[in-house]
Structure 1
Amino acid sequence: MPPRIRVTLLHNFYRGVLPSGEDLNVREHQSLVGDGAVIDIVQTGNNYVVAHPIRGRARAVAAALDLGSASSRYADEVIARRPDVVHIENLTPLIPESVVALLHERGLPLVRRWGNYRFRCPSGDNFRNGERCEDCSGRLGTLPSVIHGCYGSGRGPSAVVALRRGLVAPSLTRLRHLPISRFLAVELEASGVRADQITVIPNCVPFSSLPPEPFSRRGAGRVLFLGSLLEKKGIRTLLEAWKLLAAGAPGMELTFLGDGPLRPEVEQAARDDSRITFTPTVPYEQARLEIHRSDVVVVPSEWDEPFGRVVIEAFAEGTPVVVSDRAALPELLGESCGRTFIPGDAVDLARQLAAVLAADDAQRREMAEATQMRHRDHFSPEAVRSLWLSAYQGVIADAG
């Protein structure tokens, strides 16, 4: 058996009760790579900023301006672990971007997973005022994000984050970029990364541990939205579609599982319609159970989702999806795994949800089998493990 690859993973954890997709990926990475590698994490987290506002913000400013010894301190801590390869995840806002070049200068092979657009957009989502935004891709650099107050609570935090931009640096020959979707790979190329420095490695989730659910009767069903209650997630479009979909269908249910700024609107909708339920954040295992119990999972996003973890969680549970025909979401689907709809179009969303829910038992079994096969072949730990080990081995070999 070949020796295990020693990987040091550098990550700035996000804040919040429900872990982000990136945080979940980091926490699950050791089990993902299995016996092929041993993962050692060097970390910090945004909860430090919450617990210590003054010191935390000062650290964020210092990281953005590359002041003090933070960069060399993180580099020294990584090097002390004696890794074969360094795996970079999220660095914003407390880890200086310069640590990437510093580790490269010290001869370490590097991979960097991209799960957002922070290589060119300070807020990471390319979204503002209800539509795609590329203002920071022009000659003014990230200045527009400061003017618009895109990050955090306004122009102050935006100015701090605008000073840093995710390092894509084609000159760093021992750095391989690992976006989580083909869509994100195209965006990286548009930002100056060479195609031969990019390898797409999708997210993955565990297989279901739950027994199959009995199929609901045709014409009724359980619709689930799981995610942050944000404008860009298409919450209002979903609520409008629900009115069209559920008219005269007392057996239908719509469940919102998540939290966010649009919570009051969802809570009001639940008060107005007893078929709508709202549940704030729950543990991951409970979320998987809710997906398993649902007849369809809906992802009505109106921004450029770089992946869509809830889609592959639905596949693992044998649940079909209806997703926006936008960004990376359509590329996740396979035949009989679900449907797409026109983003922001409540009528089309209601139509596609109705089509999935109206399927007969044979069609539902076909969708369940197709979604689970899609997960097994493309988004299971077994399917993705070899991609990660190959990426690690490749960058080590390239470094000589």
Structure 2
Amino acid sequence: MFFHEVARMLRANGHEVAMMSCAEPGLDAAGVEFFPEAVDYRNGGIIKRVLNFPGMIYNRGAKAAMARRISEFCPDIVHAFAIYVRLTPAILEAAKEAGVPVVLSCNDYKHICPNYKLFHHGKICDDCKGGHFYQALRNRCCHDSVAFSAASMVEAYVQDGLDIWRRNVHTFLFASKFMAEKTEEFWGKGRVRIDFLRNPFDVARHEITPNVGDYVLYFGRLIEEKGVDVLLEAAALAPDVPIVIVGDGPDQARLNARALGLANVRMVGPAWGDDLAQYLHGARAVVVPSLWHENFPYVILQAFAASKPVIGSSRGGIPEMIGDARGWTYQASDATALATVLRQVVQLPNQKIAEIGADALTFLREELSDDSTYERLIAIYRKALA
């Protein structure tokens, strides 16, 4: 999503932008003839998957395709996003060999963590710090699978051994100070160039007429690290607080069953577009109860665009986004603390909720407008080009 938003913003300011991705059936995009095939390491027999596995770590076909794309388009700079597993960091070497500087937006922790989340089996995890990637296999941290965890362990060892990230990226871009500090904690302070760029967000397209509703809204994936279990536990402790949960995911059936005994909770399944906008319009506040270190949650941007305060856990970049004026934070995984905040939110006067929501929207317009984001992005590009 942010990949396309950056391209949209650059084109709107008169820049030529060429996209690079892996080819997929039915994909219709300019330059698709340059897109390499993604290596299939999930399907087929064991021999086929083993033979394809090296391409997950270092996709030589993608590197060659990137070299052709650079030769044809002659870019001044390459801006990379989420290139793991499919394009792989091999494309960074193609840029390096062509003398084109690379900036890499890091929206998760894959550059330092084999499973990209610093989280597994219900807990925060830093076990791989110091290059101890064997811990990924020991913890079965990737899909709770020995095979996937072993593959991710090997991937991390190879890419770390080649120093493929630090050697080929001019500047690492982070949307939160937390992720930047965590990267330096793993790699060492000052070992790479770091800069900050909040992910662009088309505020006007997501704005909703302000309204103070009566329920607290969760929307997003129904999966362990999102903390919906903690939200349901808090709902049981605050039965006077109406809560609506929008979303689907691998834990949907289990969470639906758990919510059956809670009269104040409505599980409504997935919703997008206008349907989601209606739930946002009717909400009093949005809750983001994440257990993992979320970097820059898109749901918070959507909440702010709808003039909604946010109740967020104290993990990752969430407290940075909420600040002191746009909502409330609580100690992650503490259902009692969350219940206290939920009760506080429903007891506040509507005017106060409206004021906090207005501050959230103002923050979004000022800090994440196309103009301010573009100005910051071009300053970063100029540093790399210099």
Work out whether the TM-score is over 0.5: yes
Q: 2:108 aligns with which of 116, 131, 134?
A: 116
Give the 3 Å change call, closer, same or farther, for CA 297–363 of structure 1 in structure 2: same
Report how far residue 175 of structure 1 moved: 1.3
In 2: Cα distance, 1:39 partner to 1:107 partner: 18
Question: Counterparts in 2 of 1:153-232, with a 5 A limit?
Answer: 154-165=145-156, 169-172=165-168, 175-190=170-185, 191-192=187-188, 194=190, 197-208=193-204, 212-216=209-213, 221-232=214-225
Report how far residue 307 of structure 1 moved: 1.8
Q: Conserved in 1, the CA contact under 8 Å of 2:103 and 2:171?
A: yes
Q: 1:54 maps to which residue?
A: 44
Moved more, 77-86 or 57-66: 57-66
CA-based RMSD: 2.8
Q: Conserved in 1, the CA contact under 8 Å of 2:288 and 2:311?
A: yes
Q: Which amino acid aligns with 2:296?
A: F
1:26 equivalent in alignment to 2:13: no
Give the 3 Å change call, closer, same or farther, for CA 98–69 of structure 1 in structure 2: same
In 2: Cα distance, 1:101 partner to 1:193 partner: 24
Q: Which amino acid aligns with 1:158?
A: S
In 1: Cα distance, 2:279 partner to 2:164 partner: 38
Q: Secondary structure at the match of 2:114?
A: coil
Deviations 1:352-390 (A, max 9, x none): 122122221321221122111111122333332221222
In 1: Cα distance, 2:374 partner to 2:229 partner: 38
Identity %: 23
Give the 3 Å change call, closer, same or farther, for CA 280–361 of structure 1 in structure 2: closer
Unaligned runs of 5+ in 1: 1-23
Q: 1:77 maps to which residue?
A: 69
Give the 3 Å change call, closer, same or farther, for CA 67–213 of structure 1 in structure 2: closer
Q: Which amino acid aligns with 1:150?
A: C
Q: 1:128 maps to which residue?
A: 120
Q: 1:240 aligns with which of 233, 241, 244?
A: 233
Deviations 1:320-358 (A, max 9, x none): 011012221111123331001111111110111221222
Unaligned runs of 5+ in 2: 26-37
Question: Counterparts in 2 of 1:6-17, with a 5 A limit?
Answer: none
Q: 2:19 maps to which residue?
A: 41
In 1: Cα distance, 2:55 partner to 2:69 partner: 16
Report how far residue 160 of structure 1 moved: 2.6
Q: Conserved in 2, the CA contact under 8 Å of 1:176 and 1:198?
A: yes
Report how far residue 59 of structure 1 moved: 8.1
Q: Conserved in 2, the CA contact under 8 Å of 1:334 and 1:374?
A: no
Moved more, 31-40 or 54-63: 54-63
Q: 1:297 aligns with which of 286, 291, 316?
A: 286
Q: Which amino acid aligns with 2:219?
A: L
Report how far residue 279 of structure 1 moved: 3.3
Q: 1:282 aligns with which of 271, 276, 300?
A: 271
Q: Secondary structure at the match of 1:297?
A: strand
Moved more, 295-304 or 372-381: 372-381
Q: Conserved in 2, the CA contact under 8 Å of 1:206 and 1:381?
A: yes
